[in-house]
Structure 1
Amino acid sequence: MSKILSFGELLLRICPDTEGNWLKENSLPFYVGGAELNVATALALWDLPSAYLTALPENMLSEQIVQYLQERKVDTSAIIYQGNRIGTYYLPKGKDLKNAGVIYDRAYSSYAELQPGTIDWNAVFEDVSWFHFSAICPAITQNVADVCEEALKVASQKNIFISLDLNYRAKLWKYGKQPIEIMPNLAQYCDLIMGNVWAANQMLGTAVDENIHEIGTKENYLNHAIKTSEALIKTYPKCKYVANTFRFGDPGIQYYTTLYTDGKLEVSKEYSAAHIVDKVGSGDCFMAGLIYGLYQKQPVKEALEFATAAAYGKLFIESDATTMSADEVKKIIKNEQ
């Protein structure tokens, strides 16, 4: 089987508690993650040929992390070793990455210092049929955005399927460019664009009704999903699939998703819970679930339901990446029938 390659920055998430007890206890929990790595880890867990490309410093810490990934069946052979540091960020458990409290410490990381011409993409794409990245990558620096475009051009020439997650992180876009100045140029290469109607508006300029939250009905949200999907497919002819997630509630959750292709909007089952454990990585798990289904050429509805159940299940797992097997995800679907 040809490989699914995910490209992005490996991060260490450090989790101080909101009460400051970490100072008294001299303990800071952490997780290995990063949006694209969360996807790669899930796919490997679900027994697909998953590979991961990032940049790390050449030191003992990187060696241990890479060994950790290899033990989880992630192909790390493409990783670039350069620079001096691994990116980190600070976020209390249970909080959302979109929360204003997130603290990034990613400047001058090995990944942030990637330069165009560094990676031999022809070699990297050997035996790869799917390439995945997210909008977090080009948010870091202009140079990383340029590296993304390098990759997309080569992947397109090789007819590699390309997926994009429109992760919007306002605190990352600090190098003088707004997402709308960068992302449309990258989106033109993509076969699958995943996000939500608000991220598509911020990054690709699609319209969103300013009264969407006031109306607040599922019917209206789904109509927006259709409008956004149709606008993206019209603007980016290479795009075949548009996925949207809808996640509401705090501390509880109301969650459902859509996938638009061939002029039809598929809508997932709706999940709800009074409390969740960890919001980080749920969207990544949804993305991984879509790749899992579409890579194996499952029916669109089946792929969407697997992705949605996987994302919902991740909300109850303390980590950046899911630890649920494919069979466990399928049990969630069965229990909801």
Structure 2
Amino acid sequence: MAISLAHFGVDSHFVTRLPPNPVGDAALRVLRAEGVGIDAVQRGGERMGIYFVEAGASQRPWSIAYDRAHSAISELDPSSLDWPKLLRDVAWFHTSGITPALGPGPAESTRRAVQAARELGVTVSLDFNYRRMLWSASSAKEVLPSLVRYVDVLFAGEDDLRTFLGIPIPHGALDPASLDLRACETAAARVVSEYGVRQLAITLRENLSASHNGWSALLYDGPSKTLHRGPRHVVHLVDRIGAGDSFVAGLVFAQLDGKPLDQALRFAVAASALKQTIPGDFNRVSVAEVERLGDAEDGGRVRR
């Protein structure tokens, strides 16, 4: 997400912990080369967590294996981070459910971060990003709902709302093939009312096959009590990893840029659709490229 924002021209910084070895050094070089600030990166521990991706095709699904035990970030000491100092002059702070899944230290650090950001008036966003191979639903339920209390913009899915927030939403209500907008709006309004978030964003993926997906999103805005539906893109997948992060980055950028909500959602959906045509985790597209897709200027033609 930080890299995507950097390519949109946003001054973005990454808070993490990397081992003081060649692997950690290489990670820092990549971040620096992509335009991300690394002044808040701690050095310590012995290894950097990794994961392996097996790309799917046609009827064979994508598969991921994690190797994150005993990573540098999993051993993070919450007291080592001065959040009021780190968040000084910051407009927006984003985190995800993956960080607290890595251990007690990262979980407490995340709680302190969102609390400090809220107290300082920094906009806070959270992507649930629940990964069952990293922690159980019961463990996640002990942590995630308490974080939401400090969040302005929440990114979640149907199962997240039901499992972690206790929001009753009919099964399949967010299935793009049979989307129930009234049920979605009712559930979103309850999240806003019961947890105090300002906005709820939900991505909509249609698994036509492992190689072709439909892609869209919904955005509910609490202050205006309006539900916005983004355009639908059919994507031939090159790499689906990073789609959610690029959607978050697109929505964050568009709102920082002052775009109306309909335009902000259109931009975010277009940015994340383009990411899925790019190999690797990073979305390196520019604002102009996203806006061309959002305005349907290119249509897949060769640009000369």
If the length of structure 2 is used for normalisation, what is the TM-score? 0.90
Preserved contact between residue 166 and residue 200 of structure 1 (Cα < 8 Å): no
**CA distance 1:311–1:169, change in 2 (3 Å):** same
What is the alpha-carbon distance in structure 2 between the residues aligned to residue 197 and residue 228 of structure 1? 9
Match of 1:248 in 2: 206
Aligned mate of 1:228, from 182, 187, 193: 187
Tell whether 2:24 aligns with 1:65. no
Deviation at 1:106, TM superposition (A): 0.4
Tell whether 2:117 aligns with 1:155. yes
Aligned mate of 2:178, from 208, 212, 217: 217
Instruction: Spell out the pairing of 1:108-123 with structure 2 (5 A cutoff).
Output: 108-123=70-85
Residue identity in the other structure for 1:62: G
Preserved contact between residue 176 and residue 206 of structure 2 (Cα < 8 Å): no
Instruction: Spell out the pairing of 1:1-337 with structure 2 (5 A cutoff).
Output: 39-94=1-56, 101-173=63-135, 177-210=138-171, 212=173, 216-218=177-179, 220=180, 222-237=181-196, 239-249=197-207, 250-251=209-210, 252-261=212-221, 262-273=224-235, 275-335=236-296
Deviation by residue 1:242-273 (Cα, 9 ceiling, x = unmatched): 11111012231111111111200011111124
What is the alpha-carbon distance in structure 2 between the residues aligned to residue 215 and residue 286 of structure 1? 17
Preserved contact between residue 217 and residue 269 of structure 2 (Cα < 8 Å): yes
**CA distance 1:215–1:321, change in 2 (3 Å):** closer
Deviation at 1:87, TM superposition (A): 0.4
Identity within the alignment, %: 29
Q: Which stretches of structure 1, 4 residues or longer, exceed 4 Å deviation after superposition?
A: 211-216
What is the alpha-carbon distance in structure 1 between the residues aligned to residue 56 and residue 292 of structure 2? 24
Structure 2: stretches of 5+ with no match in the other structure = 300-304
Structure with bigger RCO (C-alpha 8 Å, 6+ apart): 1
What is the alpha-carbon distance in structure 2 between the residues aligned to residue 215 and residue 137 of structure 1? 29
SS of the equivalent of 1:320 reads: coil
Preserved contact between residue 86 and residue 106 of structure 1 (Cα < 8 Å): yes
Deviation by residue 1:42-75 (Cα, 9 ceiling, x = unmatched): 0001101111111001122222221221121111
- Which has the higher mean CA deviation after the structures are superposed, 296-305 or 64-73? 64-73
Structure 1: stretches of 5+ with no match in the other structure = 1-38
SS of the equivalent of 2:142 reads: helix
Deviation at 1:224, TM superposition (A): 3.3
**CA distance 1:170–1:100, change in 2 (3 Å):** farther
Deviation at 1:94, TM superposition (A): 4.6
Deviation at 1:326, TM superposition (A): 1.1
**CA distance 1:211–1:133, change in 2 (3 Å):** closer
What is the alpha-carbon distance in structure 1 between the residues aligned to residue 247 and residue 176 of structure 2? 26
Residue identity in the other structure for 2:253: Y
Deviation at 1:146, TM superposition (A): 1.0
**CA distance 1:67–1:215, change in 2 (3 Å):** closer
Preserved contact between residue 174 and residue 184 of structure 2 (Cα < 8 Å): no
**CA distance 1:211–1:156, change in 2 (3 Å):** closer
Q: How many residue pairs align between the two structures?
A: 291
Preserved contact between residue 50 and residue 67 of structure 2 (Cα < 8 Å): yes
Preserved contact between residue 95 and residue 125 of structure 2 (Cα < 8 Å): yes
Match of 1:35 in 2: none
Residue identity in the other structure for 1:247: R
SS of the equivalent of 1:248 reads: strand
Match of 1:31 in 2: none
SS of the equivalent of 2:114 reads: helix
Residue identity in the other structure for 1:333: G
Residue identity in the other structure for 1:242: L
Match of 1:16 in 2: none
SS of the equivalent of 1:230 reads: helix
**CA distance 1:227–1:64, change in 2 (3 Å):** same
Residue identity in the other structure for 2:51: Y
Deviation at 1:124, TM superposition (A): 1.0
